[in-house]
Amino acid sequence: MSMEVIGVMIKRQLKRYWRSKPRLLGSFAQPLLFLFAFTFGFGPIYASAGEGNYIQFLAPGIMMMSVLFTSMFNGIEVIFDRQFGFLKETLVAPVSRTTILLGKAFGGALVGMIQGVIIFLITLLVGFRPEITQIPLAILFMALVALLFTSLGILIASRMEDMHAFPLIINFLLMPLFFLSGALFPIEGLKLVPYFNPLTYGVDGFRGALTGSFIFNPILGLGILSGCALVVIVIGAKLFATTEA
């Protein structure tokens, strides 16, 4: 029963994603802007500093950016469902709220991963050349990042009622996490701050799997991301259990 409910909710998330054409197109704008602006703006500087091809460094970070923002913004659907009465119908169903939370989290994570894969295909057109032997490891890192931040978005949305305030709070939280994760710039000059950012380990593991250049042990990265995702899901389940429709 629980797995069936989770499957239904995942399908619902996917249908919403494909049906919302403006949202679908708009979600590509920011990653593509960063990809082309930073590639042409900082690429020559990066190369002149002896660091090699900047697109090889930047592309995985842009993919993680797409996964991160798409996944976390899926939380707004909780507020949307509350305002239009869909959440009440969902919460009165004869299933546990934890199951509902997991269905939303897995569905949102899958949407984030699809977004990341599409950006991955685009980066291939601009010169990114990944190592295909570690693709399964890259997918694992992508899945954990997507699940962690989808769950965090749902956790935050479960305590909010204002749909317009949600993007402001999310951007306030995501921007520092993203810029201090090493997605756009090497973390060596950022001192200790990135080491306390779980996204740093997701970006490094994902980039390392695609390019063969790790900073941290990938097992450490997987452990930190898995632990953070578990903690967020547990806290989210407790808060979601007391959510009112």
DSSP character string of 50-99: T---HHHHHHHHHHHHHHHHHHHHTTHHHHHHHHTTHHHHHHTSSS-HHH
pLDDT tens, position by position, 215-237? 899 999 999 999 999 999 999 88
Q: What was the pLDDT predicted at 142?
A: 96
Q: Which helix (H) or strand (E) holds 114?
A: helix 97-125
Q: What was the pLDDT predicted at 48?
A: 62
CB of 181 within 8 A of CB of 159? Answer: no
Q: 7: pLDDT confidence band, cut at 50, 70 and 90? A: confident
Angle between helices 198-211 and 135-157 (to 10 degrees): 160
Fill in the amino acid letter for 101: L
Alpha-carbon distance of 138 to 60, in angstroms, equals 10
Residue 117: burial class (beta carbons within 10 Å; 0-12, 13-18, 19+): middle
Q: What was the pLDDT predicted at 203?
A: 95
Of the chain, the end-to-end C-alpha distance in Å amounts to 23
Fill in the amino acid letter for 142: M
pLDDT tens, position by position, 17-61? 666 656 666 667 788 888 887 777 666 666 665 566 788 888 999
Alpha-carbon distance of 118 to 66, in angstroms, equals 9
Residue 201 has pLDDT above 90, yes or no: yes
More confident residue, 8 or 184: 184
Name the percent of the chain lying above pLDDT 70. Answer: 82
Residue 153 has pLDDT above 50, yes or no: yes
Average pLDDT value over all residues in the chain: 82
CB of 158 within 8 A of CB of 242? Answer: no
- Residue (of 77, 239, 82, 76) closest to 165 by Cα position: 76
Alpha-carbon distance of 210 to 168, in angstroms, equals 32
Residue 139: burial class (beta carbons within 10 Å; 0-12, 13-18, 19+): middle
Which residue in the block uniquely carries the two structure tokens 């997987």? 222
Fill in the amino acid letter for 221: G
pLDDT tens, position by position, 49-86? 556 678 888 899 999 999 998 888 888 877 777 776 66
Q: What was the pLDDT predicted at 226?
A: 96
